């Protein structure tokens, strides 16, 4: 009987301490800062990785820069090592972001749509021209400290 009480007490302590430092989904949102990202093709293979920097937030509007540091597959739409401008918008709760990675052009745009998760940010990217979406895949990102 005494052993059972001790075991239950120990299990209760493990439960309480293991949950206390776990990030809550409610704590994750998009804010100013640098995010490391990787984009993948529809088959799940890495295409490129880099960083985007949300530098300004005014209401729901965001702006900043991005750069592709590594290109893993040949691509006509990705320029390695060139810092470019981006603009976009946040949802009311800042858990979703939409980014236009070529805001000065009506054609040849890379669009990013991401949702804040427990520890990462994930979503979809698409490359769109006047004829519509030409290429698409997934994106995963983490915020740098």
Residue by residue, DSSP assigns 15-76 as HHHHHHTSPPGGG----SEEEEEEEE-TTS-EEEEEEEEEEEEETTEEEEEEEEEEE-S--S
Q: For the ranges 3-12, 89-98, 117-126, which has the lowest average pLDDT? A: 3-12
Which of these, 32, 87, 31, 29, lies nearest to 63 by C-alpha position? 87
Give 18's pLDDT tier (boundaries 50, 70, 90).
low
- Name the residue among 126, 129, 109 with its Cα closest to residue 39: 126
Lowest mean pLDDT among 20-24, 88-92, 132-136: 20-24
143 falls in which pLDDT band (50, 70, 90)? very high
Q: Quick check: helix, strand or coil at residue 9?
A: helix
Domain boundaries, the chain: 26-143
- Would you say residue 114 has pLDDT above 70? yes
CA distance 25 to 40: 24
pTM of the model: 0.76
What pLDDT was estimated at residue 20? 46
pLDDT in the model for residue 105: 84
Give per-residue burial for 81-92: e unless 16+ CB within 10 Å, then b: eeeeebbbebee
Instruction: Give mean pLDDT, residues 98-115.
Output: 89
Q: By mean pLDDT, which of 20-29, 41-50, 136-145 is the weakest?
A: 20-29
133: Cβ contacts below 8 Å, ≥ 6 apart: 126, 127
Of 1.20.120.10, 3.40.50.300, 2.40.128.120, 3.40.50.1980, which CATH number belongs to 26-143?
A: 2.40.128.120
Our measurement of the distance from residue 87's CA atom to the centroid of its chain's CA atoms, rounded to an integer in Å, reads 15
Distances from the Cα of 4 to the Cα of 9, 70, 135, angstroms: 9, 56, 60
Mean pLDDT value across residues 21-32:
64
């Amino acid at each position: 009987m005494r052993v059972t009480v001790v075991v239950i007490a120990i299990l209760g302590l493990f439960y309480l301490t293991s949950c206390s430092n776990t990030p809550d989904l409610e704590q994750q949102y998009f804010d100013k800062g640098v995010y490391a990202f990787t984009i993948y093709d529809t088959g799940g293979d890495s295409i490129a990785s880099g960083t985007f920097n949300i530098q300004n937030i005014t209401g729901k509007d965001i702006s900043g820069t991005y750069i592709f540091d590594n290109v893993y597959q040949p691509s006509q739409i990705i320029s390695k090592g060139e810092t470019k401008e981006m603009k976009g918008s946040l949802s009311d709760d800042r858990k979703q972001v939409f980014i236009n990675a070529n805001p000065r052009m009506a054609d040849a745009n890379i669009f990013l749509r991401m949702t804040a998760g427990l520890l990462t940010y994930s979503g979809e990217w698409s490359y769109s021209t006047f004829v519509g979406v030409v290429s698409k895949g997934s994106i995963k990102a983490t915020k740098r400290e």
